[in-house]
Amino acid sequence: MSQALQQAQNKRLFVIYGTSGSGKTASLRNLKDQEGVLFLNCESGKEIPFKNKFNVEVISDPWQVIDLINEVEDDPNIHTIVIDSITFLMDMFESLYVYGAEDSRQGWSDYAQYFKKLMQEQISVSKKRYILLAHATEADNDESGLREIVIPVKGALKTKGLEAFFSIVVMTRTMPIKKLPNIGKTGLLTVTDQEEALGFKYVFQTMKTKDTTNTRIRGPMDLWVPDETFIDNDAGMVLDILDEHYA
């Protein structure tokens, strides 16, 4: 089965990427039926910044993620799986299975194969909804020679980038209120009194603009309209949109 076909089987998955403190984990606060969310904490058990009822599993070995996904695939009580973050998960694999390996070439091969197995054999064919969080960094694009904001990854995966495995990638940003267009036009971008007083808002950016062509934001052409370039940083809202779009 081709990678493209596998990706098409599970359309209810997306990546949230952005710099530290830009609202990635906080965007999960409005997920519905939180008892049905399996939260895979790959960042040394860091605290979730809001009260929640998630099923939290602290990951100390990357293979735990695949084991847990297999374990809940047929569990009707689990509807959504969050990996926070895919960046730390791959760093964990490097630390445990690549760094110090007798055969470093084999270690990096295993690194790439682990991610492909996770995507192609687990997530892409799963019946669950998935949200993957990732940290952003700047890196040179060897083909264009430009600096891009990417999800950091090493080995053979660096050539394509992790974003290539996903059809929907949104970026978290902290935006001045005065620079946010189309507030209230579609109902997906609202400003609270507190945000108005602060003068800024945490948002998702869903499409590239002329100022952000160096990002890896992506999505189906018919998923968003121009007035939805910036929306509330609400992962639950995005899942609802995907459910409706692909119904």
Which sequence spans correspond to the domains of the chain?
Answer: 3-245
In whole angstroms, how far apart are CA 44 and each of 29, 61, 94, 217? 20, 11, 15, 27
Least trusted range by pLDDT, from 21-35, 135-149, 162-176, 221-235: 135-149
Predicted pLDDT of residue 147:
76
Question: Could you tell me which residue, 169 or 102, shows the higher pLDDT?
Answer: 169
Q: How confident is the model at residue 1 (pLDDT cuts 50, 70, 90)?
A: very low
**Distance of alpha carbon 178 from its chain centroid, rounded?**
27
Average pLDDT, the chain: 90
Predicted pLDDT of residue 136:
92
pLDDT digits (tens, 9 = 90+) for 120-163: 999 999 999 999 999 998 876 656 567 788 898 898 888 788 88
Cα(33)–Cα(76) distance, rounded to whole angstroms?
12
Pick the CATH number of 3-245 from 3.10.20.340, 3.40.50.1820, 3.40.50.2300, 3.40.50.300: 3.40.50.300
Per-residue pLDDT averaged across 4-9, rounded? 45
Predicted model pTM: 0.91
Is the pLDDT reported for residue 31 higher than 80? yes
Q: How confident is the model at residue 9 (pLDDT cuts 50, 70, 90)?
A: low
Is residue 78 a contact partner of residue 127, using CB atoms and an 8 Å limit?
Answer: no
Neighbours of 90 (CB within 10 A): 26
Q: Where are the alpha helices (DSSP H) in the chain?
A: 3-9, 62-72, 86-93, 104-116, 157-160, 193-198, 235-245
Measure the N-to-C terminal CA separation of the chain; round to a whole number of Å: 23
pLDDT digits (tens, 9 = 90+) for 171-203: 999 999 999 987 878 889 999 999 999 999 999
* Angle subtended at Cα 240 by Cα 237 and Cα 245, rounded to the nearest 5 degrees: 125
